[in-house]
Structure 1
């Protein structure tokens, strides 16, 4: 989104403006009510009254946009009533009507900011023009009000977008820095600052026991708790990176480190979920924000190694730990690729590699934590291919508790290997089933279009595949190239038709997609060893 300007907003005008007619002369009231083209003016006569008190009583509980009133009325004059009405609705538009050509009345009407002053007997054209003028004013005010409301509603989204650009090093300082610093009050303090990267833990599996709307509510409440802490400590840099990841700038001192620990504790005690925070190195200028943000993200990656629901400072990280996390991430990615391709030997090798890394861990808790992380990463990977880990047979959420009952790494390895092979086989079977349905559809398509010019590119487009991928899928499913298959089906159909003497040979060639008789004869002879004519004689 270009935050340098608010997007154009579609403004809808109020469908009808409410009008009140106030006059103690019934004939004048009825004339106004009946002979003015209210619908054409997009106006609605909402109330007709014959005194000021009744008019005010109605306006206390109903919205009136335009008041047309006689100046002289019993009990309360139109001028007195208008003063009171403007207190109820300062945006009220007033048109005065009077039978007295008295400058004093006109002067008082203008002091009340009347939109028009019409003399009796009323000229229809004159009052219609006055109403058009009032309508134009109301349209303009409505549009301005809706624009202002829309602008204020977009301010939080604009702020979040600016902060995201700031953290990722993409902020255009020439156009947006002033808005960030002045509009939102985001300024660097004299203290050193650091970026805190906040992530909800175990989101891939921890909320699976909740209904979808309940899970969303819990995630939203996490953000609300974080936002409340920020407001209490005058932190204006909270940015929503995704539904479950957030970033903010905090002072790099003991007090704000304690703030982050308090935040972790509050969420853990009030919600069925936890958060972990990565904290980047300190900086003193906006140009250094991106570096601290990246450091905070790298610190958060160490959650796999040293645990969750804590603050992990980038400055406390060891290079060895960073490399270990990178190795584990690469090993997991490689495992998932082999699972997807159903390469059993490679799956075994990747699991061996993973557990070689796990054996280097010195803490029992870390081993358990890493094992859970493997499940969590696997769930996220499967979600990308439209699969749900915990909807698979024998893989319910409750099964995860068994990991904490194992006493050795070998026990965990045996259980995890079994699950990985089962999931890989299930993915393979689903893929085969899906491919079988595709092959069946392709076969039907070819049979129905043998008389046409069948080209791989056109058929692959029809089934929404790239030509290369389509060709590979077809070869895997049938053991034959697509073009060879088409020729095979054409020759078989031609052979059957040649046994029926009602068709001429050139007609048969056309029926199986050959417009050129010579090409058909040559292809048939290459396939069966005889020309179509000789084959017909033999049969």
Structure 2
């Protein structure tokens, strides 16, 4: 309901307007009836008024003067002037105040109703525009996060988007060199196992809030979330910001039951080199297995032999996990033999034991990406892992690991057969319910607790097309259906199917159906 104020020094005119206009049908409410400009202003100081209907000529304070002051209180106020004087000078002044209508006395009910319909349409249009603007501003942080991820991963054309990133998000090159800092929460798979799920999520969220707060304090506007436990940002490559990262590591360790480790890529001076530094920062974190955690690890400080050792180890583990997931029993055997060949070359008992702990940790992380919990599987309990330290030979440990790997692979195989059909059905429902939103592969994979890559593969296997193509198809089909209902304008239909930019929507619609939305509506 829209609130209306009637202001006129002639009581009969006021009562007539109040009684004979069908206010309820117009979805309007006469909130106040006053006979002076001073009384009108006094009411509007503490109450919301959407529409003001006022006589131009009133004693002490004219309707024109009162309207000027009322607009200062409510800039979006809609005004309809009434006057018994057919004088162009009054009409001209009324128009200067952006009056919606100018009605002469004696008042014609149809004329005033027509003016109110016009005002109502304007208010509804402004309300819709405000809702769309608010929705857009709410999505800005997510849009910025996605743009930054694209920048780090080399998927964003920096030159084409430089103005937007600089002006809208404050992302720009520093006068000194920059480096990418890749932040990862350590041992998340088991350190928070003693907490309830909501408590663990709250801890992880607070860790991110602390990191975000420190970035804001140091004017770092390039922080983004890659996942719940991995974050990345650009910092200046100097001692001050290295100290900031070390301070952040200490603050997290002293405040929370978890720690973070930071990987630093090499310095760069142009955004064309961001992706290289980002990839180096990722690789620096791989050295955590060898050099420890809760520290800053510089990619440039790693020795060549460490690089090769980590690469071989990571490749062997990745290959083993893939074969386990696919239930390839012969290949599982071969990859285990390869992995143990690497382990036998380790020259330290501590390294050997640590390598097996890493196998379990990496396996847990891998299973989490496919929505499985290692420590909820039969025969795998966290406290039971201490048995590894009691084995006296590599062969003893190998026998134990081998048995568990085959058991897990068989369990995954049985669960996968039941799960895939239910998953695709749930994804279809989710997409239909969220077509009006920005449905990114990363977001929906997080929603269903998968990694983006694994989710994309699962979806294509189940549906036959890429997820992004599927979403576009569903949006276009829904848009085509909505275009047959002429109550919706094209920009409203674009918003309903997830497009903030009508031009981009029209271009995609034409690519899809061979004609613009407007042409399709005419044909249908």
TM-score exceeds 0.5: yes
Q: Deviations over 1:15-59 (max 9, x none)?
A: x4332223354543343244445466x541241413346544543
Does 1:226 pair with 2:197?
no
Among candidates 94, 105, 113, match of residue 128 of structure 1 = 113
Q: Which residue of 1 aligns with 2:16?
A: 31
Does 1:45 pair with 2:29?
yes
- Indicate how the Cα distance of structure 1 residues 18 and 398 shifts in structure 2: closer, same or farther if over 3 A, else same: farther
- Indicate how the Cα distance of structure 1 residues 314 and 394 shifts in structure 2: closer, same or farther if over 3 A, else same: same
- Indicate how the Cα distance of structure 1 residues 331 and 85 shifts in structure 2: closer, same or farther if over 3 A, else same: same
Measured after TM superposition, the shift of residue 428 of structure 1 is: 6.5
Does 1:326 pair with 2:308?
no
Q: Does the 8 Å CA contact 1:26/1:50 hold for their aligned counterparts?
A: no
Q: Which residue of 2 aligns with 1:154?
A: 139
Q: Which residue of 2 aligns with 1:307?
A: 292
Structure 1 unaligned regions, length at least 5: 1-15, 435-463, 467-539
Q: Alignment length, in residue pairs?
A: 422
Q: Deviations over 1:440-478 (max 9, x none)?
A: xxxxxxxxxxxxxxxxxxxxxxxx899xxxxxxxxxxxx
Q: Does the 8 Å CA contact 2:45/2:73 hold for their aligned counterparts?
A: yes
Q: Distance in 1 between matches of 2:295 and 2:162?
A: 33
- Indicate how the Cα distance of structure 1 residues 147 and 341 shifts in structure 2: closer, same or farther if over 3 A, else same: closer
TM-score normalised per structure 1: 0.67
- Indicate how the Cα distance of structure 1 residues 430 and 166 shifts in structure 2: closer, same or farther if over 3 A, else same: closer
Measured after TM superposition, the shift of residue 151 of structure 1 is: 3.8
Summarize the alignment of residues 432-451 of structure 1 with structure 2, pairs less than 5 Å apart.
none
Q: Which residue of 2 aligns with 1:207?
A: 192
- Indicate how the Cα distance of structure 1 residues 17 and 400 shifts in structure 2: closer, same or farther if over 3 A, else same: farther
Q: Look at both structures and tell me which one has the larger radius of gyration over its CA atoms.
A: 1
Q: Which residue of 1 aligns with 2:456?
A: none
- Indicate how the Cα distance of structure 1 residues 314 and 106 shifts in structure 2: closer, same or farther if over 3 A, else same: same
Q: Distance in 2 between matches of 1:157 and 1:208?
A: 29
TM-score normalised per structure 2: 0.68
Match of 1:387, SS state, is coil
- Indicate how the Cα distance of structure 1 residues 423 and 255 shifts in structure 2: closer, same or farther if over 3 A, else same: same
Match of 2:266, SS state, is coil
Q: Which residue of 2 aligns with 1:248?
A: 233
Match of 2:225, SS state, is strand
Q: Does the 8 Å CA contact 1:307/1:366 hold for their aligned counterparts?
A: no
Q: Does the 8 Å CA contact 1:56/1:81 hold for their aligned counterparts?
A: yes
Does 1:276 pair with 2:261?
yes
Q: CA RMSD in A?
A: 3.8
Q: Which residue of 2 aligns with 1:358?
A: 343
Match of 2:235, SS state, is strand
- Indicate how the Cα distance of structure 1 residues 341 and 297 shifts in structure 2: closer, same or farther if over 3 A, else same: closer
Q: Distance in 1 between matches of 2:31 and 2:463?
A: 65
Measured after TM superposition, the shift of residue 122 of structure 1 is: 0.4
Q: Which residue of 1 aligns with 2:3?
A: 18
Match of 1:234, SS state, is coil
Q: Distance in 1 between matches of 2:351 and 2:212?
A: 31
Q: Deviations over 1:124-179 (max 9, x none)?
A: 24323433443454345445544443443333333333322222222224531222
Q: Distance in 1 between matches of 2:317 and 2:201?
A: 28
Q: Distance in 2 between matches of 1:186 and 1:320?
A: 37
Measured after TM superposition, the shift of residue 267 of structure 1 is: 1.8
Match of 1:308, SS state, is coil
Q: Does the 8 Å CA contact 1:29/1:48 hold for their aligned counterparts?
A: no
Measured after TM superposition, the shift of residue 221 of structure 1 is: 2.2
- Indicate how the Cα distance of structure 1 residues 62 and 214 shifts in structure 2: closer, same or farther if over 3 A, else same: farther
Q: Which residue of 1 aligns with 2:439?
A: none
Match of 1:393, SS state, is coil
Q: Which residue of 2 aligns with 1:198?
A: 183
- Indicate how the Cα distance of structure 1 residues 283 and 350 shifts in structure 2: closer, same or farther if over 3 A, else same: same
- Indicate how the Cα distance of structure 1 residues 186 and 341 shifts in structure 2: closer, same or farther if over 3 A, else same: closer
Match of 1:358, SS state, is helix
Measured after TM superposition, the shift of residue 81 of structure 1 is: 4.4
Q: Deviations over 1:216-272 (max 9, x none)?
A: 322322222222222222222223223322222222222222222122222222222
Structure 2 unaligned regions, length at least 5: 420-461, 465-524
Does 1:168 pair with 2:153?
yes
- Indicate how the Cα distance of structure 1 residues 287 and 356 shifts in structure 2: closer, same or farther if over 3 A, else same: same
Q: Which residue of 2 aligns with 1:183?
A: 168
- Indicate how the Cα distance of structure 1 residues 320 and 131 shifts in structure 2: closer, same or farther if over 3 A, else same: same
Q: Distance in 1 between matches of 2:347 and 2:47?
A: 74
Q: Distance in 2 between matches of 1:163 and 1:465?
A: 30
Match of 1:241, SS state, is strand
Q: Does the 8 Å CA contact 1:51/1:76 hold for their aligned counterparts?
A: no
